[in-house]
């Protein structure tokens, strides 16, 4: 899960995805992580409003720490989900092999196939903005979980 600062959207997406995989009983089959591109938050926990939003939904993300996207992530992960076009561009700049970008997609494309609809960055916004982004993330992660359950058979 990739966004700009790894303190709002991708942090919530990591937490939601882990939670859903645990509920589905398949967390042992999948590795979930999040990262970003903005180094000013390196090592920090998620934004307090992201933590509060996730917590309201029974998801604990307070233990997470921001890290940067690295080229090795293309080898470590089978799928890489970005939140918006800026994140897609940033990931593309790190691609080493021609096939690297075949692993990358917009997270919300799990709901709206091929439409590349961004999940809005709630940073600097209100709790309603965090809730809106959380709901888009939840819908996407629910669809992704269903997809993974099919491939795990």
What average pLDDT does this structure show over 2-21? 98
The proportion of the chain whose per-residue pLDDT surpasses 70, expressed as a percent, equals 100
Per-residue pLDDT at 56 exceeds 90 = yes
Which residue in 81, 5, 88 sits closest to 43, CA to CA?
Answer: 5
Cα–Cα distance for residue pair 7/128, rounded to 1 Å: 17
pLDDT of residue 152: 85
Residues 6+ apart with CB under 8 A from 94: 69, 70, 71, 73, 74
The single residue of 8, 9, 18, 90 carrying the catalytic annotation is 9
Per-residue pLDDT at 32 exceeds 80 = yes
Q: Comparing 11-15, 121-125, 147-151, which segment has the lowest mean pLDDT?
A: 147-151
Per-residue pLDDT at 79 exceeds 90 = yes
Judged on CB neighbours under 10 Å (0-12, 13-18, 19+), 133 is: buried
Q: Collapse the DSSP code of 29 into the 3-class scheme (helix H, G, I; strand E, B; otherwise coil) and give the result.
A: helix
The single residue of 3, 8, 35, 141 carrying the catalytic annotation is 3
The single residue of 73, 84, 90, 121 carrying the catalytic annotation is 121
Our separate counts of H helices and E strands in the chain read 5, 2
Mean of all residue pLDDT scores within the chain: 97
Beta strands in 30-144 (DSSP E): 80-82, 104-106
Per-residue pLDDT at 110 exceeds 90 = yes
Active site residue 65: no
Ordered domains of the chain (ranges, CATH): 9-147 (3.40.50.2300)
Active site residue 121: yes
pLDDT of residue 36: 98
**pLDDT per residue over 35-53, tens digit each?**
999 999 999 999 999 999 9
Per-residue pLDDT at 153 exceeds 80 = no
Helix axis angle for 48-56 and 127-151, nearest 10°, is 60
What average pLDDT does this structure show over 132-153? 95
Active site residue 3: yes
The proportion of the chain whose per-residue pLDDT surpasses 90, expressed as a percent, equals 97
Paired tokens of 141 = 């992660």
pLDDT of residue 98: 86
């Amino acid at each position: 899960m990739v966004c700009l600062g790894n303190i709002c959207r991708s942090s919530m997406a990591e937490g939601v995805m882990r939670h859903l995989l645990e509920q589905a009983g398949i967390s042992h089959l999948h590795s979930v992580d999040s990262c970003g591109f903005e180094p000013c938050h390196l090592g920090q926990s998620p934004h307090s409003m992201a933590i509060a939003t996730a917590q309201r939904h029974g998801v604990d993300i307070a233990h997470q720490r921001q890290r940067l996207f690295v080229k090795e992530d293309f080898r470590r992960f089978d799928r890489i989900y970005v939140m918006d076009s800026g994140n897609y561009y940033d990931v593309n700049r790190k691609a080493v092999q021609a096939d690297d970008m075949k692993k990358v997609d917009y997270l919300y494309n799990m709901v709206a196939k091929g439409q590349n609809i961004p999940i809005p960055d709630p940073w600097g916004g209100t709790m309603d903005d965090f809730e809106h982004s959380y709901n888009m993330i939840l819908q996407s992660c629910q669809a992704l979980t269903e997809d993974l359950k099919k491939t795990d058979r």
